[in-house]
Amino acid sequence: MGIGADIKDIFADVGSAITIIRDSGDVTGEYLDSEINRQITKPFVANYFRNASFQYDTEIIAGDVIQFEVDDTRHLVMSKRAEAFENEVVTWEGTLYLCNVSGELSRPTSTRSAQTYHREETFEPVKSTCHALMTEALYGHDLETDEELGLMGLENHELYIPASVGPQILDRYEGASGEYSMIATIKKRRYENVWVCGLEVDTR
């Protein structure tokens, strides 16, 4: 066996069992090693971000949602990078963001009323259980762009969501019962397979 297989055996002995959550069917039987980010001066980072090592033959890809069996918490895989030795992958290194919401994503559709002939807006479900990280907008990132401050103020929260869900501008996200947010902007190139959606309060 190679080094990667040896490390995989160590993960099974001392690591954490996880399940990869996918619409096509969950993937079980994998282990990983993770540690909490120790940036004490940044409580948000310490509470929500983890560094992780995956086995050499993992099926995990960036944008996956994984669940730790030990506490049932779910995390969004933000990155995946190969660690090689003698030109062979021995582990994969990545970053995990804690999913603090599992709301419903829906899309507006307009129909004409047969009684009043007025157009009425309704919402069709896109994904009923959509795990993501919702947080107050991190304006430090936005200040590095050319966006105007007046426009930035409209976004009071950001939603880190798997790109595979396929959110669109004007979609509605219900992070908690009766709390509606409208997707106002989508940043598709900040992370691999993870989109960052700027949210506004949805009054529709």
Quote the pLDDT of residue 79.
96
Quote the pLDDT of residue 2.
87
Angle of CA points 17, 18, 23, to nearest 5°: 155
Largest CA distance in the chain: 73
Fold of 3-98: Thrombin, subunit H (2.40.10)
Quote the pLDDT of residue 115.
74
- Structural tokens at position 8: 């995989």
Quote the pLDDT of residue 145.
40
Quote the pLDDT of residue 85.
92
Quote the pLDDT of residue 136.
85
Quote the pLDDT of residue 148.
40
Residue 11 gets which letter from DSSP?
Answer: H
CATH code that applies to domain 101-201: 2.40.10.270
Domain ranges of the chain: 3-98, 101-201
Q: Decide whether 3-98 matches 101-201 in CATH topology.
A: yes
pLDDT tens digits, one per residue of 86-123: 899 999 999 999 999 999 999 999 877 667 767 778 99
Quote the pLDDT of residue 41.
62
State how far the alpha carbon of 121 is from the alpha carbons of 12, 40, 113, in Å: 51, 46, 10
- Which residues in the chain show pLDDT less than 50? 140-154
Indicate the pTM of the whole model: 0.85
User: Residues with Cβ < 8 Å from 138, sequence gap 6 or more?
Assistant: 158
